[in-house]
Structure formats: structure tokens, C-alpha cells
Structure 1
Amino acid sequence: MASEARERNTDASNGGGEIQLEKLTPPMEFALEYDPYTLKATEYKICSCARPHMRAFHLAWTSFLMAFIAWFSFAPLAPAIKKTLGLKKSDILWANIASVLSTVFARFAIGPVMDHIGPRKGQAFLLVFAAIPTYFAGLIQNVAGLAIVRSLVGVVGATFVGCQFWCTLMFEKEISGTVNAIAGGWGNLGGGLTQAIMVGIYNMNTAFPSCNDECGWRNAFYIPATCLLIAAFTVTYFGDDCPQGKYVPPVHHGSQDGTQGRKASAADVARNPQVWVLVVQYACCFGMELHVNNTIAFYYFDRFGLTLTTAGLIASLFGLMNLVARAWGGMISDKCYVRWGMNGRKYAHVALMCGEGIFLVVFSRMPTLGAAIFMMIIFSLFVQSAEGSTFGIVPYVDPRNTGGVCGFVGAGGNLGAVAWGFLFLGTPNFADGYMILGCIVFAVGLLGIPTIQVKDTSHRKGPVRSIQGITMGSDIVLEGKSSAVELMRAVSNAVSSV
């Protein structure tokens, strides 16, 4: 990849420390406006599939969508599986816990790995790995087999890390909240689609006279398994890791702590307290969504006496709100950042988290089916918007270890789902469990006010004294300049005014 040094800026206020900006030569013609110093896009066009930015965006969310469909393909069929295998409700809950617990370890592991090999290879590996146990899901004979298969398939939940990391590599920070939220939200649509898709496959199978209920669910998993392999193929052969094409592990230059030239490190991520703050926050939004995806169909089936098909279709509404809700969270975060900086992102997130907790409590108290559906939709808007606002903050935590941070925070969502699963094992009914969770979420949301202290660590911040050896007579304040293009424009304006 060719690159030419165009400008070198010296930060005199730090004793001669350098902030070096290089214009890079694009490996192909880009269809989007981009920052010439990073090649990251400064805009997005949803209807475009042009390389490399928008194609990577669409491959990121579609691969995560396929993964999500396979990951939660068991949940809408839980009543049929429970009846066939003679399981108890607690057995289903244990299997749910297994499906999200394995994802915790997978997300912790895959983030740092992707920092070194890139998102494309990591994404493809996870998809192929999960396709194998999905194909064999129909052979389950008992609760142990169900838990083992669900835990192996659950590894595919780590594709969320690749989805977010891939978009972060392709788009500038000022739009990263929106782009990550849209990609993550559309991928999370799988949680709603799988409720309808798997019930549809089940009904299609049982429409044949020779296929009973057991035959219907045992033969329902071949389609999602095949979709995983198709997604792995398209990611591998049609995508680019980053705007430069071939992935190169990032090296952070010019940091204020003297860590110039250090590569990505999982240990650095684990030592960062802000990572763990966001892990807890994400446990209470995405962790909540995972838990609801695993339990909501059974909740409607059990509390309101609905059929499996009806309960699954109603439950799908919760996940389908990801079409817009998570994107709204990212957009709100980006707008607040433009107006109030990082404090804007923080308080937008806190407000969404508190709203999520309030409406979950209200949902749990609804005595009629119609009221429960309405409040579930309102609650889903807040929980998914909170997810989007969380990943509006993530790219600023540690730019050198973005993949690792995505992995750790993403794993927090699964840790939350595991915790909520154990909580439900100790509650008399799902309604009381949801009420307790709502109170927990509200409290954690308020705790975000004193604990979220992420700063904008961009190297494009700060005073600059010289350009190409031309010494200026005064400092140029670059606070608030969100891209290298804006930085250089500010410097050029200052030069012309001297």
C-alpha cells in the first residue's frame, strides 16, 4: 500500500512530541467521501454496496444477522422441545444459560484475536464453527445434549465483535455511533426474525402427514446451518478488512502516555477501568435483550395460554424493533456528541438506560395480552437504543485496542444474560423476574453518571505549532475537530490569516 508523508505537525506544548499525519493512497476508487489521512469514510450510503466501506458494512450486519438467527433458533421451538424430551421449565432455562455463557468466553477471546488477524477471517471462522453443531441439533436426546449443542452454537454470538470492529475500521468516529448502531441493530433483527422463521419452518415440516411435532423441530435446523456457511463464504470472498484492503494490525502513534508504537494488547484492555464500566452497562441492555429473546415466547405461551405459533410471532416483535431502535440510539449519541462532546454521549446513554428500566417494570405488571404487547414494544425501543448509545462510546475507550474493547464490552452483554438467567431460576414466575430486572437496570443506568468517564483520546486534539517546518507565531486550538480533514482545514485557515 503506497503512502506519502504530506504534513508533520509538532505539538510544542508537550516538549516537541510529534503528531504525524500522512495522506494515504486509496487502493481503489472510493464511492464515499473519506478522510485522506485514514481512508475511513466520513459518510454512509445505506443503499450502496460499493467497496470497500459500504460492502463491508453490509457484510458485517448480514453475517451477524445469520449468526443471530442460528444462535436463537432453539428459543421459539422450546415448548415443542420441552414436550418431546420431557423437560422441565428449569431445564430450558439452564440450556438458555449455556447458550449465552459460551458466547462470553468467545467474545473475550475473539476481540484481541481480531485485532491481530482482522475482522473478516475471524468472522468467517466463527460462522463455520457454529454451522457444524447447528446441523446436528436434531439429534438431541436429553437436557445435557440440548445444553451442549446450544453452548457450541452460542460461540457464533461472538460475530457481534467482528460486526462492530469491522464498521469501526471503515468509518470515522464522528459517525461511528450511527454506523455501529445500524449494523448491530440490523444484525440483532435475527432475534426477532428467528422467532417467525423457525416457527414457519416447524409448521412447514408438520404440514406433511408423516411429520409429527418431534419431526417438525428436529428437522428445522438445517436451514439456519446452511445460512451460516453461505455467510462465511460471502464474508471471505467479497469483503475487505479495512479501507487499505489487506488488514494490518494497528499501532498507536503519538499517545500522551509515552506508549508510541505499541501494538494491540488484551492486557491493556483488561486493565482499563472504563472497559469494565461499559461491560456492566452493556450487561443491562444487550444482556437484557438476549435474556428476553430466550424467554419472551415462553412467557407469552405460559402466561396468556397462546399457541406456539402465536407466541412466537408476538415475541418476534421485540427483536424486529432493532430495525430502527438501535440505530436511533447511535444517532442520538452522535447528535449529542456534536452538541456537548463526550458528556453528551454519556447522558444520552444514561437517559436511555433509565427509560429501559422503567418500561420493563411497567411491562411486567401488564395483566392483558394487548397491554403487554404494547409495553413490550416501548421497552424494546429503549433497550435497543441503549445498546446503540453504548457503542457510540466504545471507539473512544482505547483506539489502539478497538477490537479488544468491542470483545470485552460485547461479552458483558452475555455475562448479563447469564446473570439474568440465574436470577429467573430463583423467581416464582417470569413476570416478577422482569420486574426485578427493571429495577436493576434503572439503578445501573443512574450509576453511569459518576462512573462513565471516557475521554476523546483522538490524536487530532490539542495545539499545533508548525506544518511542514513552517513555524507559526501562535497555537492553533483544535479541540472539537473531529477528523484529520477538519484539523488541516483549521490549520490552513490559521496560516492564511497570518
Structure 2
Amino acid sequence: MSSYRFPLLDFSNKSIATLHFTWFAFFLTFVMWFSLPPLKPLITASFAMTPQQWAALLTLNVALTIPARIVVGSLVDKFGPRAIYSGLLIFSGALLIAFACAQTFEQLALFRFLLGFVGAGFVIGIRLVSEWFPARQVGLAEGIYGGWGNFGAAAAGFTLPFLAIHVFGGDDGWRYAMGTAAIIAMIYGVAFYASVRNTPKGSTYFKPKKSGGLEVSNRKDFCFYVIMNLPMYLILAVLAWKMSPANLGLLSTATTYVLYTVLFALFVFQFSQIYRVNKDMLQKGSVAEHDKYEFKQVAILSWAYLATFGSEIAVVSVLPAFFMTTFEGLSVTQAAMLGGSFAFMNLVARPGGGWVSDKFGRRFSMSIILAGVACGYLLLAQINASWPLYLAFSAVFICSLFVQAGCGAVFAVVPLIKRRMTGQIAGLAGAYGNVGALFFLTMNTFIDIQSFFWMLAGTATIGLVFVQFLKEPQGHVVEVNEDGSLHKIEVS
């Protein structure tokens, strides 16, 4: 395929066909992951659920996704995306069926917590798509994958309530609707395995030398990497606190402290794995020249994704209530549609961000986009009741364009850092997106909405500063073939 052509509808082209298979796999993971909120009235009625119990389910829905993206990223690099994506679709479908069959709140909570694992599906396709597209097209390809797959969340909102109420009906309609989505995902998991290859024919799938953590290039990067893992455990501790007697009161004090202890033990275990993977480097002080890369690249991209995807998830959650309290006479449905429009732009803006990055350079594009994100959130902070509704919606539209484009621009760079560890790098950056969402939503409970938007603008501005230190991918990265020979992969 030419480096300049992108025949999106040419399914005879293996690269294009693989892209379509992969974004739809991601789409189905998001349908399953976001199947809970649209069915709230039906589920809460079935279990006579309290507001605190519902809040706990929403929290549990995202809790496992942060460590899952790290784990899945490592599995993808070791075993290949074809097997891992198929396995995730089948396993998550089974969990969703179990959730749909739950008879007690405790069962609902358990299976919803485990279903957080499906949110790691995004990481798998990043590695797979990068294997099938050259550097000059990878941003656009990853943008289509991420943007179109993300639409699964909106599709869940459109289809599942309709199925539950108008197709199946009755008190158990929501169960059959979820079960339908699960069965489709499981069948597709089998079809995906039968139809997709990890790499084009004749290409090598490079794997990490050791699994369990990222390989880094020197002792300074090792320390940086360990520190980068701390926020993930801290935000999970915040989730435990939210369900403790000090907040929602759904956990006992003893259980809360047990969770804190488990999180600390997991951090120690992860540190031991990172040390094991990098033990030889720590003894020598560095690695071979062809294996070197700058870990700051990963850190910068992780912050940029926190500022874009993390803020997107938070804003989508708060916008409906913001519109309802700001503009009198707005119905719940109208407010929800206005809020949902922020995420709707994923379909075009995320591929657009990847395309801009391919065409005009990675660092330059990300700088312009993050500046736009900061200005967009500053604009939202100015909205008040005196604004015409159409003007407020226009501000949301403009801001969302930059935010979604930023997500595309981040993952236009991720696959170009170190091919054999693309899954793990995507996992770390993706996890930081979830860390950002949970942090922003937690802060929203302590500050007013204007301060909330100012905080998001400040986060994007910090990201803009960090991006100036991003190294523009140039030339080639080097991987080692099984026979010991060096293989160059073009990244510019």
C-alpha cells in the first residue's frame, strides 16, 4: 500500500481490513464496558438499589481498568494482539452474562468490578494497528481505531435501552439486552481470531526480552518509571476511600484498610517485576546503543493523554448537570444530548488529530492541539446563564474537537517509540487517561464547576510545556531478530 494513499473502504487491502476488524473489536468492548449507565432505571428498580449502591457500581466499573491496561499491555507484547483480543472479548462476554444473571447486589458488584478489565481492550489494538501501517499513516489509522471504537459507548446508550424496553420488555429486559451484547462479543471474538494476523505476511512480531515491566535504558529512567507507577495506586486508594465509612459507607473500616494493604502489596510486587526486567541494565548502568530510548517520551505522552482522554471522561460526566443548572427550562434529555455531544466528536476529531500528526509533525501538532484544549476549557469556564444556548453548545463543540484530536495525536506517537514494547507503553499511557478521569471527578466534588474547568485548562497547559521536550521521531528504531541481526523500523 502506498504511504500516501489510505483507501478506507478497500476491504481487499489486508491492512485496511485489519483496521476495520480491530476498531469493531474495540467498539464491542466499549459497548460492554458502558452497558451499565443507560440501563440505570431498570437495574436500580430490579434490586431496589440505593443511590449509594449505584454510585458504588459506577466506581467499581472503572476500578480494575487502570491495572488491567498495564497487565494487558504486557500480555499483548508477549503473546500477540490476535489471541489477547479474542480472549478478552470471549472472557468479558462471559462476565457480562454473569452480571446479567446476578440475583443479589453483591453479585452485581463482583461482576461489575471484574468487567472493568474489558476497558483494557483499547491497548490491544494500538499494537496491532501499528504492525499493519507505516509511520506516515499510523496516526490516522490509530485515530480511526480509537475514535470509531470509542463510539461503542454511545452505541450502548442508543441500543441497549431500546432492546430492554421495546424488544424484550418486562422486568428482565435489561438482562436479555446485556446478554445479547455479550453473545455478539463472544461470537466476534472467535471470528476475530479466525480472520486477523498479528503482522503482515513475512513480517516479524518483535517481543520484549522479559515480561513483567518496561525495559528502560538507564538508572535515571528506572527511577522515573517507578515513580510514574505511584499515581495509579494512589487513585485506586482514593476509590477505596470513596466507598469507605468516611464517604459512601459501603465498606467497613476493616475492609478499607485491607484494600489499602493489598494496593501497597501490589505496588511492591510490581516494583519487584520492574527490577527483575531491568536487573542487568542496573548492574551495567545502561543498555546497548541500539536498544536505547528516552523514557521521558512515555511520561510526556502519558500526561498528554491524562489531559485529553482523562478530561474527556470527566467532562462527559459533569456536562449534563452543568447545563441543567445553568440554563432554566432544559429537560433531562436535552441536557444529556448536549453533554453527550462532547464525546460524539470522537468519530471525526480523533482520526483528524492522528492525520494532522502524520502530516505536520508529532510535536508541532500536539503543541497546537494542547493549546487549543487549554483555551477550550478556559472558554467553558466563562459559560453562564446569560449566554445563548447555541453559543454555549458552540463552545463545547470547539473544545471537544481539540480534546478528541489530542487523543489521536498522542497515539500517533506511542507506536513509534519502541516497537517490541508498544503494548506496554500504550497500557501506561492509557492507564494515565483513567487516572486523570478519576482524579478530575474526585476534585469536582470539592470545587465549583468554573474552578473545575480552570483545573482542566491548567492540566492541558502543563502538558503543552511538557510536549516541548518531546523528541520528534526521526529515522528508524532498531529491533533484534531471533538470529541476532538488527532490524530497522522506519518511524518518520
Does TM-score exceed 0.5, indicating one fold? yes
Query: In structure 1, how many angstroms separate the alpha carbons of the residues matched to 2:91 and 2:211?
Result: 25
**In 2: Cα distance, 1:308 partner to 1:289 partner:** 20
In 2: Cα distance, 1:281 partner to 1:92 partner: 31
**Structure 1 residues 316, 449: closer, same or farther in 2, change over 3 A?**
closer
**Mapped contact 2:366–2:406 kept (Cα < 8 A):** no
State which of 417, 421, 433 in structure 2 corresponds to 1:397. 417
Q: Give distance in 1, aligned partners of 2:408 and 2:120.
A: 17
Among 345, 348, 353, which residue is 1:329 paired with? 353
The residue identity in structure 2 corresponding to 1:175 is: Q
The match for 2:20 is 58
Larger relative strand fraction: 1
Q: CA deviation at 1:58?
A: 0.7
Question: Which amino acid in the other structure matches residue 343 of structure 1?
Answer: R
**Distance of 1:371 and 1:86 partners within structure 2:** 41
Q: Deviations over 1:397-444 (max 9, x none)?
A: 3344212111111111111222233334446xxxx35x4442222112
Q: Quote the Cα distance in structure 2 between the aligned partners of 1:322 and 1:222.
A: 27
Q: Higher helix proportion, which one?
A: 2
Correspondence for 1:166:
128
Aligned counterparts of 2:108 and 2:399: Cα–Cα separation in 1: 30
Q: Which moved more, 1:61-70 or 1:412-421?
A: 412-421
Root-mean-square deviation over aligned CA pairs: 3.5
* Inter-partner Cα distance in structure 1 for 2:49 and 2:307: 29
Residue 196 (structure 2) aligns with? 239
Q: Aligned runs of 1:302-451 on 2, under 5 Å? A: 316-337=340-361, 342-362=362-382, 373-426=393-446, 432-433=448-449, 435-451=450-466
Superposition deviation, residue 146 in structure 1: 3.9
State the secondary structure of the residue aligned to 1:454. Answer: coil
Residues 196 and 312, structure 1, Cα contact 8 Å, conserved in 2: no
Displacement of 1:281 in angstroms is 2.1
Equivalent position amino acid for 2:433 in 1: G
- Tell me, yes or no, if the aligned pair for 1:42 and 1:172 is still in contact at 8 Å: no
Which residue identity does 1:194 align to in structure 2? A
Secondary structure class of the residue paired with 1:324? helix
Larger Rg: 1
Contact 1:69–1:191 (8 Å) recurs in 2: yes
In the alignment, which residue of structure 1 is the partner of 2:205? 248
User: Does the C-alpha gap of structure 1 residues 301 and 242 become closer, same or farther in structure 2, counting only changes over 3 Å?
Assistant: farther
Q: Does 1:178 align with 2:151?
A: no
Question: What does 1:16-35 align with in structure 2 at a 5 Å threshold?
Answer: 32-33=1-2
Give the TM-score taking structure 1 as reference length. 0.71
Deviation at 1:175, TM superposition (A): 1.8
Q: Which moved further from structure 2: 113-122 or 299-308?
A: 299-308
Q: 1:454 aligns with which of 470, 474, 484?
A: 470
Q: Secondary structure at the match of 1:242?
A: coil
Q: TM-score, normalised by structure 2?
A: 0.72
Q: 1:113/1:142 Cα in 2 relative to 1: closer, same or farther (>3 Å)?
A: same
| Residue matched to 1:22 | none
CA distance in 2, matches of 1:236, 1:382: 35
In the other structure, the counterpart of 1:81 is 43
Distance 1:153 1:364 in 2: 38
2:188 matches 1:228: no
Return the offset for 1:450. Answer: 3.2
1:287 aligns with 310
Which residue among 209, 215, 218 is the counterpart of 2:172?
A: 215
Task: Quote the offset at 1:313 in angstroms.
Answer: 5.4
| Displacement after TM superposition at 1:91 (Å) | 3.9
Residue in structure 2 matched with residue 187 of structure 1 by the alignment? 149
For structure 2, which runs of at least 5 residues remain unmatched after alignment?
Answer: 217-224, 227-294, 478-488
Matched, 1:111 2:73: yes
SS at match of 2:201: coil
- Which one-letter code corresponds to 1:268 in the other structure? E
- Amino acid across the alignment from 1:183: Y
Distance 1:362 1:197, change over 3 A: farther
Per-residue deviation, 1:264: 7.4
371-380 or 328-337, which moves further after superposition? 371-380
Whichever residue aligns with residue 398 of structure 2, its letter is I
User: Following TM superposition, by how much is the alpha carbon of 1:112 offset from its aligned partner in structure 2, in angstroms?
Assistant: 1.8
- How far apart are residue 63 of structure 1 and its match? 0.4
How far apart are residue 59 of structure 1 and its match? 1.2
Deviation at 1:392, TM superposition (A): 2.0
Contact 1:329 1:386 in 2 (8 A): yes
TM-aligned CA distance change 1:240 to 1:305, over 3 Å: farther
Contact 1:196 1:316 in 2 (8 A): no
State the 1:369 CA deviation.
6.6
> Alpha-carbon deviation of 1:141?
5.5
Aligned partners of 1:364, 1:172: CA distance in 2, in Å? 46
- Per the alignment, do residues 192 and 241 of structure 1 end up closer, same or farther by CA in structure 2, a change over 3 Å counting? same
In 1, distance between residues paired with 2:416 and 2:403? 22
Q: Distance in 1 between matches of 2:334 and 2:46?
A: 20
> Deviation string for 1:201-233 (max 9, x for gaps)?
233157x5xx2xx43434321122122113212
Name which of 67, 79, 91 aligns with 1:129: 91
CA displacement at 1:456 relative to structure 2? 3.7
CA displacement, residues 264-316 of structure 1 (integer Å, 9 cap, x when unaligned): 77332646233233222212221233344556667778987887766665555
Give me the whole-angstrom Cα distance separating, in 2, the residues matched to 1:50 and 1:104: 37
Instruction: Please say which of residues 316-325 and 262-271 is displaced more in the overlay.
Output: 262-271
Which residue number in structure 2 is paired with residue 477 of structure 1?
A: none
**Percent of counterpart pairs with the same letter?**
26
- Looking at structure 2, the residues matched to 306 and 414 of structure 1 have their Cα atoms a distance apart, in angstroms, of 30
Q: Is the 8 A contact 2:303 2:463 kept in 1?
A: no
Match for residue 296 of structure 2? 273
Cα deviation, residue 72, structure 1: 0.5
Cα offset for 1:64? 0.3
Q: Secondary structure at the match of 2:177?
A: coil
Which stretch shifts more, 327-336 or 110-119?
Answer: 327-336
